[in-house]
Amino acid sequence: MEVIEARNVVVGAGVVGAAAAYHLARRGEAVLLVEQFGLGHTRGSSHGATRIIRHSYADPNYARLMPRVYQLWHALEAQSATPLLTRTGGISVSPPGVPYAELVEAALVELGVPAQRLSAEAWNQRHPRFAVPSGSTVVFEPDVGILAAGRCVHVLLHEAERHGACIQPNTPIDRIELETSGVALLGKGLRIQADRAIVAAGSWIPILLPALAQVLTPTRQRVVYLGTADPGYGVGRLPVFIWIGAREEQAYYGMPDLDGRGVKMGRHHGPATNPNQADERVDEAYVDELRGFLRGFLPELAEAPLAATETCLYTMAPGEEFLVGAWPGRSDLLVAAACSGHGFKFGILVGEVLADLATGQTPMAGTERWGATLAGFLQG
């Protein structure tokens, strides 16, 4: 049995774990990050080329945190001399009777973030490729953008290593044991004795920490890329779009063609799944459903050829809330389940919160509710 002693151990090299290692290492903390697969694998939630970043949230609690999130990503771009965020502009759209776009507008006004509200007719006139249904509300935010997801994770890990972190891929942790002091992380022929452990294992959190299996549900997400040679669907021409309809499953998002693979699109919800069973199928019925939505929103694109597909995991929590904080009664075990399909942009802030909690500092105001949510679920 190999026994390793470590001060801070991070489980998971997705955007959250990578960000936690990055922030801790930059503060001079010794960090060991373990990942069950190889770095850059495509089995979890953080792979692929792109993720949307926006201030445009209907929930002002999340919107208020976004200026800090943008600041942190821009700081990482400067530190690493690597472009990570492409500004594209973006629209939040909802039909009559669904207050999503109006709530987004209210949050942006509160923050003082530039934005414009338009009727469907006015938007369609300005962007003739769109056919937003009459009566809908459109809120355009110029600062919406795209994060280069895979590159973001790579740069976070690289910067963490540059500041002394040790990154160990292909090291699955099978069990976590709380000891009188410290935490033991056990794998095949391996025992890691940690002063502090940070579990950022995404969809595997309910497996590693079964007490959370009641509240966290891994779901399988399918993404399509629709190929078009029309420059009108490129960056600077087609904004990011988010449509929230009357029924929960009528939630669609899309983004302009960033890298020549086509317009990326998906539905926000997906079937529950077991993260240990990889399934990369994207069924025809799902593609037809997306085409059906596009026929009433971006009609030309609905008929574009399918250029590529991709699958990925969400870790859904009730109310799409984040659970980030210390295990009840144990400041040496921190957990971060910050996903529900909108966690990538926040990864760099969640990492900062974890580093603050680990080093006894007070995290940013507005993030403490994530710890209360975790405690609430664990203490019932």
Ligand X SMILES: Cc1cc2nc3c(=O)[nH]c(=O)nc-3n(C[C@H](O)[C@H](O)[C@H](O)COP(=O)(O)OP(=O)(O)OC[C@H]3O[C@@H](n4cnc5c(N)ncnc54)[C@H](O)[C@@H]3O)c2cc1C
Residues that bind ligand X (CB under 6 A): 11-17, 34-37, 43-46, 51-52, 172-173, 200-204, 208, 221, 223, 266, 312-314, 338-339, 341-345, 347
Q: Is 51 a catalytic residue?
A: yes
Which residues are registered as beta bridge partners of 323?
337
Question: CB 148 → ligand X: shortest distance, Å?
Answer: 12
Question: CB 192 → ligand X: shortest distance, Å?
Answer: 11
Crossing angle of the two packed helices 368-379 and 347-358, in degrees rounded to 10: 80
Would you say 36 or 137 has its CB closer to ligand X?
Answer: 36
- Dist CA 309 CA 324 (whole Å): 31
Nearest to 325 by CA among 216, 228, 198, 240: 198
Q: Is 264 a catalytic residue?
A: yes
Would you say 120 or 333 has its CB closer to ligand X?
Answer: 333
Q: Is 47 a catalytic residue?
A: yes
Question: CB 266 → ligand X: shortest distance, Å?
Answer: 5
Q: Is 345 a catalytic residue?
A: yes
**Cα 233–Cα 225–Cα 228 angle in degrees, nearest 5:** 40
Contact 39, 13 (CB under 8 A): yes
The residue type found at 322 is F
Burial class (CB within 10 angstroms; exposed 0-12, middle 13-18, buried 19+) of 261: middle
Question: CB 221 → ligand X: shortest distance, Å?
Answer: 4
- Name the active-site residue from 47, 127, 196, 267: 47
**Residue nearest ligand X, Cβ-based:** 14
- Name the active-site residue from 26, 50, 220, 367: 50
- Name the active-site residue from 23, 54, 127, 264: 264
Would you say 11 or 294 has its CB closer to ligand X?
Answer: 11
Q: Is 188 a catalytic residue?
A: no
Would you say 44 or 239 has its CB closer to ligand X?
Answer: 44
Would you say 56 or 136 has its CB closer to ligand X?
Answer: 56
Which residues are registered as beta bridge partners of 313?
220
Q: Locate tokens 């040496």: which residue?
A: 332
Contact 178, 330 (CB under 8 A): yes
**Which amino acids are annotated catalytic?**
47, 50-51, 264, 268, 312, 345
